[in-house]
Amino acid sequence: IKIRPADPDFRAEQNAALNAALQEDYEILGRRMARRGIDIETVTELVSRFGVAVPSWGTGTGGTRFARFPGGGEPANVFDKIADCAVINSLTGATPAISPHFPWDEVADFAELRQYAATLGLGFDAVNSNTFQDHPSHGDHPLSYKFGSLSHTDPAVRAQAIRHNIRCIEAGEQLGSKALTIWIGDGSNFPGQSHFGRSFDRYIDSVKQIATALPPDWSVFLEHKIYEPAFYSTVIQDWGSSLLAAQEVGPQASCLVDLGHHAPNVNIEMIVSRLIHAGKLAGFHFNDSKYGDDDLDAGAIDPFRLFLVFNELVDVEAGSGFAKAPAYMIDQSHNVTDPIESLISSAIEIQRAYAQALLVDRAALVGFQDTNDPMMANQELKRAFTTDVAPILAMARAREGAAIEPLAAYRASGYRQACIARRPVRTAGGGGIV
């Protein structure tokens, strides 16, 4: 298959007309930053090293429980998804890894999959297990998850869910991944339906069993979510439950923060800080939200919140550093856009928030905090946030041979039209073919 955006000559052609203006913008920004004592090259260098993983399931059109309106040329299998991920990474230079989901991305030969991704310059980030729906087409899943999985009352269902997670680890090992992400839909829809304490105990016991199957250099990420599909109570519904579970499971367990999985108005950046304090921040599922687990494009609704999250992360990076770097992954549902365009734009927004956070004068901020100067402390953050770092992001891309204007280059490549011509129409819902 010809993936035109992955061709360096195509990108060079696209960049040719944009290089001169970029150089000019970059020099002006560099002079402005120098006046504030910041070396633009240091920032650009850090930005070039930044990477966020693309979720394999995000490459297909998403939907709601009401309807799904499939876009054209959707990936028919995991190889197509990888090709789409290669498009995103070639143009942005910021998404070198894929986060797969099983059984959606199940294949007979994982070595072949890894090889295919590698030829396109891609690796694999955390593998995701799926015990939130039944997989009738897999012989290993005779029992239903209707009333839960890892916390189910029936030990046989728990055993099946544990087995599925262990198979995910085995698949991940062949793909070169180093972590398993567990998100479960377990919970209840009616007060009285389930026992809060006993279901939590059963979950912890199941995850402990999964953890015994982890290779020594692996981690298990526990992802909490306030509600949905359960609408009264959820077993791992908040960061408190997630942290308690991770602490009981042991050193290989930590807490994954999906930006959409919190109560409205909750201070997510402070949760991030608390998890860092506990040494239990696994990483992120980036997305944006207005009301709930909306899975909207990162930075589309509240870019300031995204910046504040990165402000916490850069604060640690600039200080003591992380014993283990948090995993950066996107988790979105693209219902009304071309998923590739949404993922390109999201990766850039996440990178932008990181670049802005790098501009905060940490020493000055601490000074304002210690002298109780709220106005100047806030001004320091706002100054960084309102700096237009676009030339830094574009220069990082240009130097890596990615696209200066990724969305424009994507549209010019005709990639989607080529996919429409060669990929079958997919009408099924959900993240994949179960």
The residues binding Zn ion (CB under 5 A) are: 103, 135, 138, 140-141, 258, 285, 293, 331
| CB 155, min distance to Zn ion, A | 18
Q: Is 125 in the site for ligand AOS (CB under 6 A)?
A: no
Cis peptide before 103 (omega within 30 of 0): yes
Task: Between 289 and 345, name the residue whose CB sits nearer to ligand AOS.
Answer: 289
Q: Is 225 in the site for ligand AOS (CB under 6 A)?
A: yes
DSSP state of 233: E
| CB 298, min distance to Zn ion, A | 12
CA triple 284-286-290, angle to 5 deg: 130
Three-state DSSP class for residue 369:
helix
Task: Between 114 and 225, name the residue whose CB sits nearer to ligand AOS.
Answer: 225
Q: Which residues 6+ apart lie within 8 Å of 367 measured at CB?
A: 373
| CB 71, min distance to ligand AOS, A | 18
326 binds, among Zn ion, ligand AOS, none (CB under 5 to 8 A by kind): none
DSSP count for the chain of H helices, then E strands: 16, 12
Q: Which residues 6+ apart lie within 8 Å of 65 measured at CB?
A: none
State the Cα–Cα distance between residues 47 and 38, nearest whole angstrom. 14
44 binds, among ligand AOS, Zn ion, none (CB under 5 to 8 A by kind): none
Helices 78-92 and 339-358: crossing angle in degrees, nearest 10, is: 40
Q: Is 431 in the site for ligand AOS (CB under 6 A)?
A: yes
Task: Between 15 and 346, name the residue whose CB sits nearer to Zn ion.
Answer: 346
Look at residues 127, 146, 126 and name the one whose alpha carbon lies nearest to residue 136.
146
Could you give the dihedral angle defined by the CA atoms of residues 231, 305, 124 and 181, in that order, rounded to the nearest 10 degrees? -30
Q: Is 223 in the site for ligand AOS (CB under 6 A)?
A: yes
Element (H, E) at 98: strand 97-99
DSSP state of 53: B
Task: Between 68 and 285, name the residue whose CB sits nearer to ligand AOS.
Answer: 285
Q: Is 258 in the site for ligand AOS (CB under 6 A)?
A: yes
Task: Between 227 and 420, name the residue whose CB sits nearer to ligand AOS.
Answer: 227
Print the binding letters for residues 13-52 with ligand AOS: x by CB under 6 A, - otherwise: ----------------------------------------
Q: Is 81 in the site for ligand AOS (CB under 6 A)?
A: no
Q: Is 145 in the site for ligand AOS (CB under 6 A)?
A: no
Residues 402/10, Cβ–Cβ less than 8 Å = no
Report 279-308 residues binding ligand AOS (CB under 6 A): 285, 293
431 binds, among ligand AOS, Zn ion, none (CB under 5 to 8 A by kind): ligand AOS
| CB 341, min distance to ligand AOS, A | 19
Task: Between 101 and 285, name the residue whose CB sits nearer to Zn ion.
Answer: 285
Task: Between 93 and 339, name the residue whose CB sits nearer to ligand AOS.
Answer: 339
State the Cα–Cα distance between residues 246 and 81, nearest whole angstrom. 32
Sign of torsion over alpha carbons 64, 67, 70, 71 = negative
Q: What are phi and psi of 266, to 5 degrees?
A: -65, 150
Residue nearest to ligand AOS (CB): 183
Residue nearest to Zn ion (CB): 138
Three-state DSSP class for residue 73:
coil
Q: Is 57 in the site for ligand AOS (CB under 6 A)?
A: yes
Task: Between 90 and 219, name the residue whose CB sits nearer to ligand AOS.
Answer: 219
Q: Which residues pair with 138 in a beta bridge?
A: none
Write out the residues near ligand AOS by the rule CB under 6 A: 57, 101, 128, 183, 223, 225, 258, 285, 293, 331, 431
